[in-house]
């Protein structure tokens, strides 16, 4: 059974039960009201009963009692002390008289109101009892009798029957109306659920752009928005996974290409030597030099790949306080010593402390300086600055070179990506330097960005900014 059917059935059942309860209460109230009115009439009658003629003899000659009543609709019964009916008067006119009320056994005490059936069971009576003293034997004696006055409840029964019939019709109409109204209301109320079912089915079939409508601030609206957020996160996860797989495929292809080039060079010189094309002398020396250079290049590439793999899988458990100013000074001194013809300037605060792995943070600064040397013309000025800003330690490496085009900036941190592949290979770059920088900085809960050093100028230069939480 569907939710819609259960809701409609439950609503109709509740309304029917409520209608029946209200009907029963109403019928009971009307019945009590009419019975109370009849009791009032019976009390009024007892104030003026009339025994017009009495002929009662104790010597066996019989008895006759005539009772007159101002109410033709009432029945009267006179009962002696032994419970025998001495006289009675039927209710109604002579053409339409009802059977008299039955006498309760035992006879109730005076002033008692009670409902009893007629002697033939055709109708119920509302009766009240009273005591009357009647003279007998020509007035020589008197005797106490019980007078029972009864009012037929035909009108009450008719009204009650009409009310019951009305209640039955009302229950039927309420059932039909509640079913129709419940169907319409639940159809409108559950329409968002149907829409969400269709949306979920469409998403399961591959329509990842499908979303459920969120109708206002209702419960269904909140459910729709929650479903949309969940689907959005799932789509983002799927997209991230696909993007990661694409990057992995591209990385494997690039790595294979990078390794294939030096391997081909080494293989070519080896075959040349094996075929006798490189006899001892300058030609052989050059072949050995090229083999050594390509071997070094492969070693650097493999080492960088292994470092990236470790950075992806491992986060240092213990970080120590590190002085970025000291690390930057050491890297600048090393760069000046290895390439004295390229000017490099250090502008740093006295001490800028962070927590982290000192060796890896040193590699970040060294890679950034080395990257400027590889991708700028000889003699290009380089500036390294270390400072604090808004609770962060900031390291900036700026050069006056040709800069990085905007379309390449989003990918400069991708592994094995080169803005100018041929030039990078000629200078020994593997395309992993900035990727290593980003991995180390991310491991240290920092960020790294690339921008123009002098926006609007020619050449614009390059500015790489690293931000780390200050210690």
pLDDT of 36: 92
Single out the residue of 168, 163, 126, 166 nearest to residue 30, CA to CA: 163
Which residues make Cβ contacts (< 8 Å) with residue 167, sequence separation at least 6? 19, 20, 23, 24, 26, 27
Asked if the model's pLDDT at residue 383 lies above 50, the reply is yes
Asked if the model's pLDDT at residue 58 lies above 50, the reply is no
Stretch among 13-27, 46-60, 108-122, 220-234 having the lowest mean pLDDT: 46-60
pLDDT for 225-268, tens place per residue? 888 888 888 888 888 888 778 867 776 776 776 677 778 878 88
pLDDT of 61: 47
448 close to 430: Cβ distance less than 8 angstroms = no
Element containing residue 167 per DSSP (H, E): helix 154-189
Single out the residue of 396, 398, 394 nearest to residue 380, CA to CA: 398
245-249, 355-359, 395-399: range with highest mean pLDDT: 395-399
Distance CA 381, CA 345 (A): 8
68 close to 50: Cβ distance less than 8 angstroms = yes
pLDDT of 93: 47
Residue count of the chain: 471
Q: What is the DSSP letter of 118?
A: B
pLDDT of 140: 65
Stretch among 44-53, 92-101, 354-363, 431-440 having the lowest mean pLDDT: 44-53
Asked if the model's pLDDT at residue 309 lies above 80, the reply is no
Q: How confident is the model at residue 365 (pLDDT cuts 50, 70, 90)?
A: very high
DSSP-assigned states of every residue in 394-447: EEEEEE-SS---HHHHTTTTSTT--SSHHHHHHTT--S-HHHHHHHHHHHTT-E
Provide the phi-psi class of 301: left if phi over 0, else alpha when psi is between -120 and 50, else beta.
Answer: alpha
What integer is the mean pLDDT of 426-441?
A: 75
pLDDT of 392: 94
What integer is the mean pLDDT of 365-393?
A: 91
pLDDT of 418: 67
Sign of CA dihedral 306, 310, 316, 319: positive
Q: How confident is the model at residue 212 (pLDDT cuts 50, 70, 90)?
A: confident
Asked if the model's pLDDT at residue 63 lies above 80, the reply is no
Q: What is the DSSP letter of 379?
A: T
pLDDT of 232: 87
What integer is the mean pLDDT of 203-229?
A: 81
Distance CA 49, CA 68 (A): 7
Q: How confident is the model at residue 122 (pLDDT cuts 50, 70, 90)?
A: confident
Which domains, ranges and CATH numbers included, belong to the chain? 49-153 (no CATH), 209-314 (1.10.287.130), 317-469 (3.30.565.10)
Distance CA 82, CA 90 (A): 22
Asked if the model's pLDDT at residue 361 lies above 90, the reply is yes
The interaxial angle of helices 433-443 and 282-313, nearest 10 deg, is 20
* More confident: 62 or 175: 175
Which residues make Cβ contacts (< 8 Å) with residue 64, sequence separation at least 6? 53, 54, 55, 56, 87
Distance CA 384, CA 332 (A): 8
What integer is the mean pLDDT of 315-328?
A: 84
Distance CA 398, CA 404 (A): 12
* More confident: 27 or 245: 27
pLDDT for 28-37, tens place per residue? 999 999 999 9
Asked if the model's pLDDT at residue 324 lies above 80, the reply is yes
Element containing residue 388 per DSSP (H, E): strand 382-389
Element containing residue 173 per DSSP (H, E): helix 154-189
122-131, 220-229, 300-309, 387-396: range with highest mean pLDDT: 387-396
What integer is the mean pLDDT of 212-234?
A: 81
* More confident: 219 or 63: 219
pLDDT of 322: 93
Which residues make Cβ contacts (< 8 Å) with residue 7, sequence separation at least 6? 182, 186
103 close to 85: Cβ distance less than 8 angstroms = yes
Provide the percentage of residues in the chain whose pLDDT is more than 90: 24
* More confident: 207 or 140: 207
């Amino acid at each position: 059974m569907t939710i819609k059917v259960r809701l409609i059935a439950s609503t109709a059942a509740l309304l029917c039960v409520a209608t029946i309860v209200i009907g029963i209460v109403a019928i009971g109230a009307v019945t009590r009201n009419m019975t109370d009115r009849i009791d009032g009439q019976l009390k009024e009658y007892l104030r003026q009963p009339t025994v017009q003629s009495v002929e009662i003899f104790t010597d066996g000659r019989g008895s006759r009692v005539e009772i007159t009543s101002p109410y033709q609709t009432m029945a009267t019964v006179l009962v002696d002390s032994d419970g025998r009916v001495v006289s009675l008067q039927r209710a109604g006119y002579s053409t339409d008289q009802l059977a008299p009320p039955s006498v309760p056994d035992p006879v109730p005490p005076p002033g008692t109101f009670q409902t009893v059936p007629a002697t033939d069971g055709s109708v119920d009576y509302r009766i009240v009892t009273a005591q009357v003293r009647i003279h007998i034997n020509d007035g020589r004696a008197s005797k106490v009798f019980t007078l029972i006055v009864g009012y037929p409840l035909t009108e009450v029964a008719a009204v009650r029957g009409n009310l019951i019939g009305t209640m039955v019709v009302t229950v039927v109409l309420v059932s039909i109306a509640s079913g129709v109204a419940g169907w319409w209301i639940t159809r409108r109320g559950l329409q968002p659920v149907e829409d969400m079912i269709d949306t979920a089915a469409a998403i399961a079939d591959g329509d990842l752009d499908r979303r459920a409508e969120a109708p206002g601030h209702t419960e269904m609206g909140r459910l729709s928005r929650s479903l949309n957020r969940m689907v959005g996160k799932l789509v983002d996860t799927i997209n991230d996974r696909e993007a990661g797989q694409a990057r992995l495929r591209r990385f494997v292809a690039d790595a294979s290409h990078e390794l294939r080039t030096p391997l081909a060079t080494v293989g070519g010189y080896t075959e040349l030597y094996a075929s006798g094309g490189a006899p001892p002398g300058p030609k052989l020396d050059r072949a050995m030099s090229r083999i050594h250079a390509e071997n070094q290049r492969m070693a650097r590439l493999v080492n960088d790949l292994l470092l990236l793999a470790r950075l992806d899988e491992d986060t240092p458990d213990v970080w120590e306080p590190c002085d970025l100013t000291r690390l930057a000074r050491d890297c600048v001194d090393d760069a000046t010593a290895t390439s004295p013809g390229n000017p490099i300037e250090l502008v740093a605060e006295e001490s800028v402390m962070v927590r982290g792995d000192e060796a890896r943070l040193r590699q970040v600064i060294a890679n950034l300086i080395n990257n400027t040397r590889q991708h700028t013309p000889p003699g290009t000025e380089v500036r390294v600055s270390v400072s604090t800003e808004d609770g962060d330690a900031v390291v900036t490496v700026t050069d006056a070179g040709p800069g990085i085009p905007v379309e390449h900036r989003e990918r400069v941190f991708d592994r094995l990506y080169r803005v100018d592949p041929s030039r990078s290979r000629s200078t020994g770059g593997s395309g992993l330097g900035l990727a290593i920088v980003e991995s180390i900085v991310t491991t240290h809960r920092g960020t790294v960005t690339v921008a123009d050093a002098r926006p609007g100028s020619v050449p614009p230069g390059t500015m790489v900014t690293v931000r780390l939480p200050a210690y």
